[in-house]
Amino acid sequence: MAPDGKPNAKQSVSNRSISRRSALRGLGAASLVGLAGCTGGSNNGDGGDGGGASGPDKITIGLQADMTGVLASYGYWHKRVLEGYVEELNANDGINGAEVELVVEDTATDSKQGVQAMRKLVQQEGADFVIGSQSSGVSIATNPLAKQLKVPYFPIGEAPSITGADGTRWTIRNNHSTNHAAILAVQYGLENLGKNWTIMYQDYAFGQQYTEWVKREVEGSGTVLTEIPVPVGTSDLNSYLNKVPDDTEVLFNALVGPSALNFLKQSADLGTSGARLGPIASVEGVDVSGLDAGADGAAYVTMLPRRLEEADNEYNRHLRDIARVDESDQVLNGGHYFVSYEALSWIKDAVTETGWSSESDNQAFIEWFETGPSVEQSNAYPQGKKMFRGTDHQAFMDMYIEEISGGKLTVAEHIEVSEPTFDAQSDLSAMSF
Amino acid sequence: MSTAVSTAGRTLKPRHAIWVLLLIAAAIVPFVAGEFGLFLGASILALGLYGASFDLLYGYTGLLSFGHSVFFGVGAYAATFAINDYAIGAITSLLIAFIITGIVAIGLGLIAVRVSSHGFVIVTILLALIAHLAASSLTGLTGGTDGLTVLVPMVNLPVLGEFTLFDPMFRYYFTLVVLVVSLFLMYRVTTSPVGLAYRMIRENEKRARLLGYNVTLYKLSAFMLSGAFAGLAGALSMYISGFVSASEFSLTVSGDAIIFTLIGGRGTLIGAVVGAALIELVANQVSELTDAYPLFIGVLLVTTVILEPEGLLGLLKRVKERVLSDDSAEQTESASSREVPGNE
Amino acid sequence: MALASDLTIALINGLSWGITIALIALGLNLIFGLLEIVNMAHGSLYMLGAVTGWFVVDATGSFFLALLIAPIAVAVIGVVLERVVLRPIEDDISITLIATFGFLLIFQQLALLTFGPGTRTIEAPITATLQFAGLSYSAYRIVVAVVSVLLIALLYAFLFRTRMGMWMRGVRQDLETASALGVPTSQVYMLTFGLGAAFAALAGVLLAPIVSVNHLMGLDILAVAFIVVIVGGLGSLQGVLVASLLYAFLENFGAVFIAPVEARILTLVIMIVFVLLRPDGVFEEGAI
């Protein structure tokens, strides 16, 4: 495939005379020779400038933001809340006296673009830590790169494999994993809604993962009657809703985008059997005030209620001030927007605890999470208490079940979580740096 | 492939200047670019190959396909399976991607070239939709939208030894060499009698038929070659990112090929590379300033097709003609007429 | 559910959904039939209709006002687009296709900047459900189907009963003669594009209560519209009607018997087979 290179790899390009007989081929060889000359044992790049050797006077936080594409509503809020938080930190002595700088790059909710954004954040903007994308695809694609660039990475994607088979030593997830949400939702459903389940899911990774874990959890205590995959981008759900068995007591739905809203409307229109239960992602960024009574009773497992009234405390108020929720006319992604905020809180704590001053302290920074730190609810952790499991760098937190009623999301149950809900699927702490 | 090659492929002429200049520019990029610039550079070169493969079809035969992403995706996955499931080496996997995509392209071409030119556009859209749906759904095989991480093996080069694609410098030059070799091969095709037949089909399909050309066969061969090089670009792009997902099949990826070709200049091959570089660099710069950069790309696209349908290279040519005005420049390969076969 | 009721629902659904698809695709094919423009921005015009509709409902609370204002606003956009951008390049199919693709990006991004990244709903003006034979079905969807039928009938009446409609058909059949007879071809072109855009926007507002409003909503519908246009035959209005119903029935009945994704892929494959067997559409060269 490659043209023959010159045997003498140390020769420089300028020494070669370009033969007129086959200019292109000659140049091809020339560049190959040039290449051989300048790849003398350089190894993997280590990213960032680390801000100099004498303790950091600046800490750069990268945000791999989904500003355009399918998850644009998440990107909007993650960026907004972090901008507010960084401003607040800098007004209060930064992190350990170091000024905090936020750099943002768009992923276009696309894995390739996301990987490129990560590189740019680290290699060009000099990010010391990167808070990741909400997209599982982007998170999974970025994990190996974070290891390669030796930058602690806080992905917000929720696929179980992010801290499982696709995890690395450099992956730290303070967001919940899909299986955590699925397990708690199923427990709630079995206790309150019924034993006969039907699962309707969007036929791609997100929906399939929920289906897998819901099934696993229901079996033994109940029955999964049937599973109904819905192709991505389906607007008309009637034909799928007709497949729902009449004896369904719980209709678990893991749908996104237009399918999720149509599901609410059309299942009500058709009088589909089963109490509707699903992940908050289905209606995140969706204005539910325009939904009619048909949507009432649909329940979602979430991390934080969308409306202040449902979790009215000083920490939540403070969070909303930082994100300037009241000044935005966009629908709040209430179940998720605090995750990037808390990721920065974790970074702040880890930097403070380990006395981090440059990238050479990154290993200590990661090892601190492997001691299984836990925190109580505070301004830094407005969603509530949390703990890390050192083995797989996975955080666990309380969850809520929210129900739609009268065009509003209201809390049906606050689920207390005091220990991990599932076993670690990988031992990230045993991996190499 | 080609038998009687015109002298164009053998001697340097003034009109090759742009090729040589670009190659020199590409070769010295690593000495001025930082680490991210090197990565972006390699990405651009792979995308440039993808754009050029599209130009081979559209710019030379006039067949506008909106399903080019299918080949990009098939190539990326073919190389992925070769590496992950069969432990095949890096360079062999590239060749496998090239061949398999070429075969797939023949199959799809049999469907696509049967219909009229408008039908062709829409059938190719359908093919891309089917591929994207299937790839998103079959997560067990493709990893779906979450994708698969690929650990590309070491590249063994005769004489030079072993290199890893993790090395930014090697990654860049490796991509550059594959691009240059591919461009050279494509260029030879376009200057051969086959390329002449392609252009005749573009200018006047009826006449080509009357002259006894088997138009369908020529269209099919263009489809196959174009597909194979797009598959190669897909595999190369996977090497660079170390990652592949169902998104490779999306219509936006098809759109990218069209954008690169149009902005750079159709029917020139090198134009698509220039277009890819321009768009990616602009997007990279503008994205720092605003999230609305797709708007910028849209505006750029619209103004290009209205003001200068022959793209950047067409503009250069016009400037050159202005300056030289003694018309010593010979006929270039670029489509100077805007005639595209109507629907007979 | 029993098979009989499954099939009944599939029938009603195929009918109502098919008619709605036809409403969107008719505008696309009208533009193609006369101007030979493959309008990639057609889905975006549908999206702009829904977004404009949402803004109108948000400001006034009136769904019917949205139904009036959105098509007019989008028609104006369409007319300007045709006049300013597409007119100079109308003789080159691929160039117009790429230009409209550029507008797809522009419109989508403008919607993201103004309407925002979230998803919003428009309340249906009718929220009843119809009950019959133990089945229930949304009354509003039936209404949308009926309104779509009326709109399509109106379009036909316009094309066959008014002077402008005659001109449109005349220009399509024989441009030179029409010009010689004093038909204002330039206005005919503009009006055709405006009409096609208005129809897309109307569909956007009508469907908003069913499918919700989002800046990316034009993408999925564009593909479907393209499919029925190519199967129905480029420029053929009856063909679009038949193909839309065919598409909707295939997908609905297919989903009764096989896995949904397979049904979707099978539908697309059958559509490709149709194109191969009848490259000029179901009615061959269907005149309007």
- Kindly write down the DSSP assignment for every residue of C257-288, as one continuous string: HS-HHHHHHHHHHHHHHHHHH-TT-TTSS---
Closest CA to B48 of B232, B201, B283, B314: B232
Q: Out of A42-51, A52-61, A357-366, pick the least confident.
A: A42-51
Q: How confident is the model at residue A164, as a pLDDT? A: 94
Of C1, C124, C212, the CB nearest to A258: C212
Q: How confident is the model at residue A14, as a pLDDT? A: 36
Cα–Cα dist B312/C227, whole Å: 33
In the numeric block, the tokens 């993997």 are attached to: A44
Mean pLDDT for A267-286 is 91
**Is A351 in contact with A89 (CB distance < 8 Å)?**
no
Question: How near does any CA of chain A get to the CA of C56, in Å?
Answer: 14
State whether A286 and C259 contact (CB < 8 Å): no
Q: How confident is the model at residue B285, as a pLDDT? A: 84
Residue type, A128: D
Of B43, B133, B160, the CB nearest to A116: B43
Q: How confident is the model at residue A55, as a pLDDT? A: 62
**Is A275 in contact with A193 (CB distance < 8 Å)?**
yes
**Between C93 and A308, where is the model more confident?**
A308
Give residue C180's Cα distance to chain centre: 33
> Across-strand partners of A144?
none
Question: In 3-state terms, what secondary structure has residue A276?
Answer: strand
Residues A234-265 have pLDDT tens digits of: 777 877 888 899 999 999 999 987 788 889 88
Q: Out of A4-13, C71-80, C267-276, pick the least confident.
A: A4-13
**Residue C104 — φ and ψ, nearest 5°?**
-60, -45
Q: How confident is the model at residue B325, as a pLDDT? A: 67
Q: How confident is the model at residue C166, as a pLDDT? A: 85
Q: Which residue of B has its CA nearest to A233?
A: B133
Q: How confident is the model at residue C131, as a pLDDT? A: 79
**In chain B, which residues have pLDDT < 50?**
1-9, 327-344
Q: How confident is the model at residue B16, as a pLDDT? A: 73
User: Side by side, which strands form the sheet with A129-131?
Assistant: A99-106, A58-65, A129-131, A153-154
Q: A48: pLDDT confidence band, cut at 50, 70 and 90? A: very low
Q: From its phi and psi, is residue A255 left (phi > 0), alpha (psi between -120 and 50) or beta?
A: beta
Cα–Cα dist A149/B111, whole Å: 46
Closest CA to A371 of A356, A354, A353, A391: A391
**Residue numbers of B between 62 and 91 with CB closer than 8 Å to A:** 91
In the numeric block, the tokens 């081929």 are attached to: A25
Residues A295-324 have pLDDT tens digits of: 899 999 999 999 999 999 999 999 999 999
Instruction: Give A24's contacts in chain B (Cβ within 8 Å).
Output: 19, 23, 180, 184, 187
Q: How confident is the model at residue B342, as a pLDDT? A: 36
**Is A21 in contact with B10 (CB distance < 8 Å)?**
yes
Q: A77: pLDDT confidence band, cut at 50, 70 and 90? A: very high
Residues C212-237 have pLDDT tens digits of: 899 989 988 888 888 888 888 877 88
Mean pLDDT of chain A: 87
- Does the pLDDT at position C286 exceed 70? no
| Chain C touched by A378 (CB under 8 Å) | no
**Between C130 and A146, where is the model more confident?**
A146
Tokens read off for B261? 């070709």
Q: A43: pLDDT confidence band, cut at 50, 70 and 90? A: very low
Mean pLDDT for C35-51 is 92
Question: How near does any CA of chain A get to the CA of B293, in Å?
Answer: 10
**Is A57 in contact with A319 (CB distance < 8 Å)?**
no
Residues A22-37 have pLDDT tens digits of: 333 333 333 433 333 3
State whether B169 and A42 contact (CB < 8 Å): yes
State whether A2 and B177 contact (CB < 8 Å): yes
Closest CA to C151 of C7, C13, C22: C22
Q: A50: pLDDT confidence band, cut at 50, 70 and 90? A: very low
Q: How confident is the model at residue B13, as a pLDDT? A: 62
Could you tell me what percent of chain A has a pLDDT over 70?
A: 87
Tokens read off for C70? 């959105």
Of A70, A261, A269, the CB nearest to C137: A269
Tokens read off for B340? 């595209």
**Is A322 in contact with A81 (CB distance < 8 Å)?**
yes
Residues B183-224 have pLDDT tens digits of: 999 999 999 999 999 999 888 888 988 988 898 899 999 999
Give residue A427's Cα distance to chain centre: 20
**Is B193 in contact with B63 (CB distance < 8 Å)?**
no
| Chain C touched by A226 (CB under 8 Å) | no
> Across-strand partners of B244?
B148
Q: Which residue of C has its CA nearest to B113?
A: C276
Mean pLDDT for A180-201 is 96
- Does the pLDDT at position C182 exceed 60? yes
Instruction: Give B287's contacts in chain A (Cβ within 8 Å).
Output: 105-106
The burial class, CB within 10 Å (0-12 / 13-18 / 19+), for C112 is buried
State whether C92 and B118 contact (CB < 8 Å): no
Mean pLDDT of chain C: 87
- Does the pLDDT at position C204 exceed 80? yes
In the numeric block, the tokens 């490779």 are attached to: B248
HSE-up of residue A272 (Cα within 13 Å, Cβ side): 34
Tokens read off for B116? 């009229």
Name the pTM for this structure. Answer: 0.86
Question: How near does any CA of chain B get to the CA of C143, in Å?
Answer: 31
Q: How confident is the model at residue B151, as a pLDDT? A: 87
The residue count of chain C comes to: 288
Q: How far apart are the first and last CA of chain A?
A: 36
Residues C44-53 have pLDDT tens digits of: 999 999 999 9
Residue type, C219: L
Q: How confident is the model at residue B14, as a pLDDT? A: 61
